[in-house]
Amino acid sequence: MLDDTPLTTAASLLDPALQGLALTFGLIVAIGAQNAFVLRQGLRREHVGTIIAFCTLADAVLMAAGVAGLASLIGAQPGLARLLAGGGALFLLGYGLRALWNARAPGALQATTSTSLGRRQALVQVAGFTLLNPHVYLDSVLLIGTIGAQHSGAPARAAFVGGCVLASALWFTALGYGARKLAPLFARPQAWQVLDALVGLTMLVLAWKVAPMAWR
C-alpha cells in the first residue's frame, strides 16, 4: 500500500488525484478510432456534447469498477497487490517505451467528414469504438484499477478516480469542442511526435513510481 493510514486531508488527497490525472492523460491521448471519431464529430459539430458525455461516463464507470473491485481483492490478499503492481509497472514501462519508439516515426490523426450521422447512429458508433476495444479494459479496468487500488483508504482511491475522470473529461472536451483548431495541428506528424515523446516520458516516470509497490 502507498501508506499505512487512510488519506483524509485535502492536501494528502492531491497526490493520488494528480497521479490519476497524469496516468489517464498518458493513456487516453494515443491515436485511435475513438479519438478520431470524437474529432470527426467535433469537426462537423454534430452531437458533440452527447459524444463527450458518453466517453467520459464510460471511462468513469470502468475506472471506478476497476479500482473498487481490485481494492477489495487486494484487501483480502496483500500478495496480490505486489503482483499487480509489478505487472502494472511492466506495462507502464512497455507503454512508455512504445510511445517513445512511435515518436521516431509518428502518424497523423485523420477524421473524415463525408457522412452525417443522427444522434442514435453516433452513439452506437462511439459505443463500439469504446466498448469493443480490448485495450479499454486493459487500460481503464486493469491498469488504472491496479494502480488506484494501491492507495490506502476510500478517500484516496476516490481522489485517484476523480483525477482519472477529470483527465478524461478534459481530453474529450478539448478534442470535441476544439476540433476545428486542433485538427490542423494534429494532422501534422510533428505534433504527434512531440505528444508521443511526452506520453512516453510520463509513462516511464509512473512506472518508476509504481515499481517499489511490487516489493513493499
Asked if pLDDT for residue 135 goes beyond 80, the answer is no
9-40: pLDDT as tens digits: 666 788 888 888 888 888 887 766 788 788 88
User: What pLDDT was estimated at residue 173?
Assistant: 95
Q: What is residue 149's predicted lDDT score, i.e. its pLDDT?
A: 83
Axis-axis angle for helices 189-210, 10-28 (nearest 10)? 130
Flag whether pLDDT at 185 surpasses 50.
yes
Amino acid, single-letter form, for residue 194 = V
Answer yes or no: are the C-beta atoms of 26 and 203 closer than 8 Å: yes
Which pLDDT band holds residue 191 (cuts at 50, 70, 90)?
confident
Q: Check pLDDT > 50 for residue 4.
A: no
pLDDT (0 to 100) of residue 6? 46
- pTM as predicted: 0.74
Query: Which is nearest to 36 in space by CA: 134, 124, 112?
Result: 112
